[in-house]
Amino acid sequence: MAKGSSVLTPVVTVDRGSSQPLHSQVYRSLRNAISTGVLRPGQRVPSSRAMGIELNVSRITILEAYGQLLAEGYFKSSRGAGTFVSSSLPEYLTQVGRPVNGRTPRTSGPRPVARRALQFPTLPMTPWRYGLGAFAVHQPAFEEFPYAIWSRLVTHHSKDPNAHAIHCIDPLGSRRFREAICEYLRTARAVHCEPEQVMIVSGSQQALQITANVLFDPGDAVWMEEPGYLLARNVFTAAGCCQIPVPVDDQGLNVEVGVTRCPQARAAYVTPSHQYPLGSAMSAGRRLQLLNWAQRNGAWIIEDDYDSEYRFESAPISSLQGLDNERRVIYIGTFSKVLFASLRLGYIVVPPDLVERFSAVRHAMDIFPPYLFQEVIADFMREGHFARHIRRMRQLYSERRMVLVEQLRSTFGNTLEIHGAEAGMHLAVTFPAELDDVAIAERAAELGLWLFPLSGSYMTKNARKGLVLGYGNVAAQAIPGAVEKLRTAIASV
């Protein structure tokens, strides 16, 4: 065993010039640490030996101080286990939040924050955002994840990591990982890319944040899908962008309306493979129209390809980026849906002439991405587990979707309209405008169902009412029960 004590030494000051004896100084210092909440009930304190070494005073001095604290009931000693702050101290001694050092806080002066900070929307504490299970959106089938393979790779890369992998401080991320992503994107998504253009980020949110910093000054216009993805809107709001709502229909973004409303927008934000939340795929005609608009107006396209991997009734649709001859598309992908979100890993395929700018923004933001999961996923891809996992999940989600659609149809008939069930891990249902989708979602949360109200995805007033239902993390046999709860929730508002 290593010789050093494994207990933290509290900050104790001794003043050798003082007339007060050292043991008394140590005693007062520790008592003060307890009474101000620096040391908490039940917390272990270092041995007298370790404390003596730390403060450079004799062990006898420390033993004298500890003895007094034990006698007065501040400390408690347990043979073999060490010395602890007593867990039965009177409350007034350990009251959390009491004035520092016994002084009363002074009246505080102004506490200014930035005007820009007020543009960031505060966090919605809505229940459906935090639940786990039916029908939380964007949750994959956690229990189907190949943890045994994953854990083998994680262990391999953390047991005896090589200093160079640990020391990779490239703001683009690990080269090996970027190569694996390129091979995947070229093959499965028809994206045109080389590793030099790929930047590893902590998910699509950071991808959008970096992109917004590179492309937009306050006041710049950006086309947004209506309805669309709320967290993308938050980024553009914080960046001070003027967001132009452009309606979505069953062919995706209506480019003509965009051109009418704001031809000179700096960019368009789109989810062409599986529009969020309504689920349509952007048609070939609209894709060409969009690219054409961007080329003629010197605009950019931000393609968020967030769950393109799962398409059930036809071959996957290739990316918009792959159609683009002018490198005007910033392509964003994530591992949140195919693996899981708390890995915090995604990527951007950056047009070559913007790589330097993206790198500068990323470097100032958080320098470079963490190493471990980059190496793990690179192996997971190279060894074929990634492709196999996608295929398995596609099969699984296809079943879950089928059961859900059937159950919705048999329970609700034509009172609910179903949208976007051809792909991904979620579908949307819409219902008559007199039903309050927020009230339904609140009622459902009491029943243990997590439903996103569709109306929250709209910027404009004429929102359709409905719900977004994620089925990634709901076993097929649990679906009938969950739909029954949904019926109860709808019936009760």
Structure tokens at 187: 């093959």
Joined together, the tokens standing for residue 120 give: 């960031």
Is 363 a binding residue for a second copy by CB under 8 A? The answer is yes
Query: Cα Rg for the chain, rounded, in angstroms?
Result: 29
Residue linked to tokens 């050292």:
22
Q: Please report whether residue 7 would count as binding a second copy according to CB under 8 A.
A: yes
Query: In terms of C-beta density within 10 A (0-12 exposed, 13-18 middle, 19 or more buried), how is residue 272 classed?
Result: buried
Distance, CA of 227 to CA of 225 (rounded, Å): 6
Region near a second copy per CB under 8 A, out of 107-115, 415-423, 463-471, 477-485: 107-115
Using CB under 8 A, which of 71, 81, 90, 163 touches a second copy? 163
Q: In what order do the strands lie in the sheet with 426-430?
A: 417-419, 426-430, 466-470, 452-453
- When asked if residue 395 is in the footprint of a second copy (CB under 8 A), the reply is yes
- From 16-24, 357-365, 455-463, 481-489, give the range in contact with a second copy by CB under 8 A: 357-365
Q: Is 273 near a second copy (CB under 8 A)?
A: no
Q: Distance between CA 133 and CA 481 in Å, rounded?
A: 12
Residues 85-104 that bind a second copy (CB under 8 A): 96-97, 99-101, 103
Rule CB under 8 A: is residue 340 a binding residue for a second copy? yes
Binds a second copy (CB under 8 A): choice among 18, 49, 58, 132 = 132
Cβ of residue 435: shortest distance to a second copy, in angstroms? 28
Span from 249-257, 326-334, 429-437, 461-469 in contact with a second copy (CB under 8 A): 326-334
Smallest gap, in angstroms, from Cβ of residue 208 to a second copy? 9
- Smallest distance from a second copy to CB 211, Å: 10
Binding residue for a second copy, selected from 89, 175, 183, 422, defined by CB under 8 A: 183
* 310 contacts 394 by C-beta, under 8 angstroms: yes
Report d(CA 132, CA 139) in Å as an integer: 8
Q: Please answer whether residues 273 and 308 qualify as being in contact, where contact means their C-beta atoms are separated by less than 8 angstroms.
A: yes
Per rule CB under 8 A, is residue 143 in the interface with a second copy? yes
Residue from the set 206, 243, 271, 280 that interacts with a second copy by CB under 8 A: 206
Nearer Cβ to a second copy, position 214 or 349? 214
Pairing of strands 252-253, 242-249: antiparallel
Instruction: Give the nearer residue to a second copy in terms of CB position, either 165 or 405.
Output: 165
Spell out the residues 6+ positions from residue 490 whose beta carbon is closer than 8 angstroms to its own: 431, 435, 440
Does 264 bind a second copy (CB under 8 A)? Our answer is: no
User: Which of residues 17, 80, 112, 413 is near a second copy by CB under 8 A?
Assistant: 112
| Residue 188 touching a second copy (CB under 8 A) | yes
Phi (first) and psi of residue 296, to 5 degrees:
-70, -25
